[in-house]
Amino acid sequence: MTVPFATSARSSVGVEWEIMLADGQSGDLVPRAPDVLATLEEKSALERHTITGELLTNTIEVTSGIGDTVAEVVDDIADAIADVREVTDPLGVELLCAGSHPFAQWYDQQVTDKTRYHKLIERTQWWGRNMMIWGIHVHVGVDDVDKVFPIIGALSGYLPHLQALSASSPFWAGERTGYASNRALVFQQLPTAGLPWPLDDWSQYERYLTDMQRTGVMEDATEVRWDIRPAPRWGTIEVRACDGMSTLPELAAVASMVQVLVEHFSRELDEGRELPRLQPWFVRENKWRAARYGTDARIIVDRDGTQRPVAEHLRETLEALLPVAEELHCAREFAGVGRILDEGPSSSRQLLVADAADGDLHAVVQHLIREFRAGPTLRDHLASLGG
């Protein structure tokens, strides 16, 4: 089958953020998305941002417009959150985001009444019902379809970096998992999720889709749920590996890193250079290490098997790619990656709160609610950095 790759502006960016709805008092998830969306979906049709439902009725997703800069799209997200709060605050519903809810149980949740979601649950059964996961998706425009899979291959070497920075699911159904990102390992249980297949070019991707449709695995390309996937409709590469970010500045930091990496690799291709690509078995091992240890992970960084602390390698990457970030007008957001490394990702903060509260995970949820509500806006955060 032929799958056209849409035209998009090079290194344009868009962001999707999945958000939990929780009772303000108990912190438990509440199935209020239909109530919230009844008011907001029509209103958001007139805005750059959109506000929509997800698999479970305890979740809404806010999506930016297409922007030239990360600041522009994160402003869209901030506007969307403000609109959501106009509806949720009077209902006593709070917003929070992490890769998982610390104590909610899958059997208490309701599936959104849409055919595609019912089909997913019918096929995947227990694993599908356990998809109590929240993430962010970052789209970056690519100017040539022939660049898509070389860039995806190179980006796969940076999946552990992005996964470590965003790690925010150390608890699952009331249990301390021992993983910084339990979500990463849960999500890959779906049939078409997990690491991207190491394809070389667009024609191989088209053959993959043909095979999957012919055998009834999927109906179209939207059902490809890889950690990094092409988004043919938008002309983008979409990074889906990250846990949900707990604050807006952290969202901006990770989005800027994705945008900078894609532009960097695009320039390398323009110069006729072959992009680096780790062996698939190293990519798989790196994913597990980042999920287990977060920013404390040691990862494999080259085809020779050299191993480095992911935090150390991230700092080197920040320094090396700062000129690209400056040209993309996201240098201050990009610097936020360093702040995550200095202060710890959400998973580390959640564990500290749990320890201080003698393991009370209700305290962790209230911490996440406070972070989401009272944490700085992106503008405030950038002002604090100066410049």
Please answer whether residues 300 and 309 qualify as being in contact, where contact means their C-beta atoms are separated by less than 8 angstroms: no
Please answer whether residues 244 and 124 qualify as being in contact, where contact means their C-beta atoms are separated by less than 8 angstroms: no
Mean pLDDT of the chain: 94
Q: What is the structure's pLDDT at 194?
A: 96
What one-letter code names the amino acid at 250?
A: E
Q: pLDDT tier at 205 (50, 70, 90 boundaries)?
A: very high
**191-195-196 Cα angle (round to 5):** 95
Domain residue ranges of the chain, discontinuous segments joined by +: 13-376
Q: What is the structure's pLDDT at 63?
A: 96
Q: What is the structure's pLDDT at 40?
A: 87
pTM: 0.95
Tokens 């940076």 belong to 158
**pLDDT tens per residue across span 140-183:** 999 999 999 999 999 999 999 999 999 999 999 999 999 999 99
Residue 238 CA to residue 181 CA, distance in Å, equals 20
- For 236, phi then psi, to 5°, come to -130, 165
**pLDDT tens per residue across span 241-277:** 999 999 999 999 999 999 999 999 999 999 999 999 9
- For 229, phi then psi, to 5°, come to -140, 155
Most confident of 48-57, 110-119, 305-314: 305-314
What share of the chain in percent tops pLDDT 70?
Answer: 97
Token digits of residue 100: 């998982």
Q: What is the structure's pLDDT at 46?
A: 78
Mean pLDDT, residues 194-200 taken together = 96
DSSP 276: P
Residue 370 has pLDDT above 90, yes or no: yes
Beta bridge partners of 89: none
Please answer whether residues 130 and 244 qualify as being in contact, where contact means their C-beta atoms are separated by less than 8 angstroms: no
Residue 375 has pLDDT above 80, yes or no: no
| Cα 381 to chain centroid, rounded | 21
Report the sign of the C-alpha dihedral through residues 286, 287, 292, 296, in that order. positive
Tokens 């869209």 belong to 76
Mean pLDDT, residues 10-35 taken together = 97
Instruction: Decide: helix, strand or coil at residue 200.
Output: coil
Residue 299 CA to residue 288 CA, distance in Å, equals 10
What one-letter code names the amino acid at 75?
A: D
**pLDDT tens per residue across span 101-148:** 999 999 999 999 888 888 889 988 988 888 999 999 999 999 999 999
Give the DSSP H or E segment for 366: helix 361-374
Task: Give the domain 13-376 fold.
Answer: Creatine Kinase; Chain A, domain 2 (3.30.590)
Give the DSSP H or E segment for 252: helix 248-270
Please answer whether residues 57 and 174 qualify as being in contact, where contact means their C-beta atoms are separated by less than 8 angstroms: no
Q: What is the structure's pLDDT at 123?
A: 87
